[in-house]
Amino acid sequence: MAGISLHNVGKSYGSVEVIPDLSMEIISGEFLVFLGPSGCGKSTLLRMIAGLEELSNGEILIDGTRVDALPPGQRGVAMVFQHYALYPHMTVRDNMAFGLRNIGMSAGEIDRKIADAARILEMDHLLARKPSQLSGGQRQRVAIGRAIVKEPKAFLFDEPLSNLDAALRSRTRIELARLHQQVKATMIFVTHDQVEAMTMASRIAIMNQGRIEQVGTPLEVYRRPRTRFVAGFIGTPAMNILTVRLLGEDKGGAVVALPGGQRVETRVPISGLASSATLELGVRAEHVTTGGGIDGRAEVVERLGDRTFVYARLPDGALVVYEDAGDSTVSVGDPVALGFNPAQVHLFDSAGIGHHAA
């Protein structure tokens, strides 16, 4: 296991600045996920840690040793790519052994490492096959096995599940979480898929335009998003975001009004909000209640079996999604009356910074 330190890391391609100035500490043994939309710089950052991209500025330390001037093979990391990059003419065993033979490892040691990796990934029966005889999920498992045999200080995963179908992605997520528990190594995983991040990560670093918006456990970033971007990016369905104006304070929390004039009480302290010219209210679907004083009309009803999501249009044109029971009787066109749980309402100021219930 190894901790990884990023100190003022930056990357530019000519005049295009991809990562301006990024610093963070990756804790030894954790499963850290860099999460963000396409083009936010997360894969570039991973490739800089791996040594596949040069830094424009800053430094990277692995286990306390500066490595940004070292070639990839000397950094003690192993990378698993989105595309499997397996040698098509080699068997699974030979694909896993190739890198070890190149460094002169003994045949007995290679066999031991391959046997251990095959046992962990439950792929002993695949060792004699060639990549063309494997499914996509099996090929990705081989790519992960090729990383395991190197016994690296850290594993780097660059969107390794994006080529798999939904069911296989779900199973592979479980395999990777189990792998982390078994090998207890530092793992860094890049994805744009929040479900992957929420289900696997010890911590999530949410990136936007080359910067880290928030770092925290999955529940921390879900329950207390630091910025409006995080609030809108994390969660399925996305958090409802509504423009509001500040009315005052009641029971220790800010009171705001929707564009239609409906009053909404919150438990968010008013301090820090009064000077903000613009406020936005955020509330998740599960924290929208029925039977309140906000009128709407059901526009879309999404039935998922165990729960139902209803998308309701308010008189001012805003769309609010709320969670109803799996056997909900709401139909498209029905009037609905909504309310917001005051303790679960978030307010975002003009700078996009989140303010939460005390």
Please tell me what DSSP assigns to residue 227: B
- Which CATH class name applies to 4-225? alpha beta
Domain extent listing, the chain:
4-225, 237-355
Phi-psi region of 129 (alpha: psi -120 to 50; beta: other; left: phi over 0): beta
CATH of 237-355, one of 3.40.50.1980, 2.30.110.10, 3.40.50.970, 2.40.50.140: 2.40.50.140
The answer to whether the CB of 221 falls within 8 A of the CB of 230 is yes
Could you tell me the pTM of the whole model? 0.89
Q: Please tell me the predicted confidence (pLDDT) of residue 1.
A: 65
Quickly tell me which residue has 């978030």 as its tokens. Answer: 346
Q: Please tell me the predicted confidence (pLDDT) of residue 190.
A: 95
Q: Please tell me the predicted confidence (pLDDT) of residue 84.
A: 76
Give the span between the Cα atoms of 42 and 213, in whole angstroms: 12
The answer to whether the CB of 303 falls within 8 A of the CB of 328 is yes
pLDDT tier at 117 (50, 70, 90 boundaries)? confident
Q: Which pLDDT tens digit goes with each residue over 271-316? A: 878 766 779 999 999 999 998 999 999 999 999 999 999 999 999 9
Q: Measured between alpha carbons, how far is residue 78 from residues 81, 271, 352 in Å?
A: 10, 48, 37
Exposure class string for 115-125: b at 16+ Cβ within 10 A, else e? eebbebbebee
Instruction: Report the share of the chain in percent with pLDDT over 70.
Output: 99
CB-count burial class (<10 Å; 0-12, 13-18, 19+) for 64: exposed
Q: Please tell me the predicted confidence (pLDDT) of residue 184.
A: 84
Per residue, the 3-state secondary structure of 188-226, as one string, reads EEEECCHHHHHHHCCEEEEEECCEEEEEECHHHHHHCCC
What are residue 22's DSSP bridge partners?
A: 9
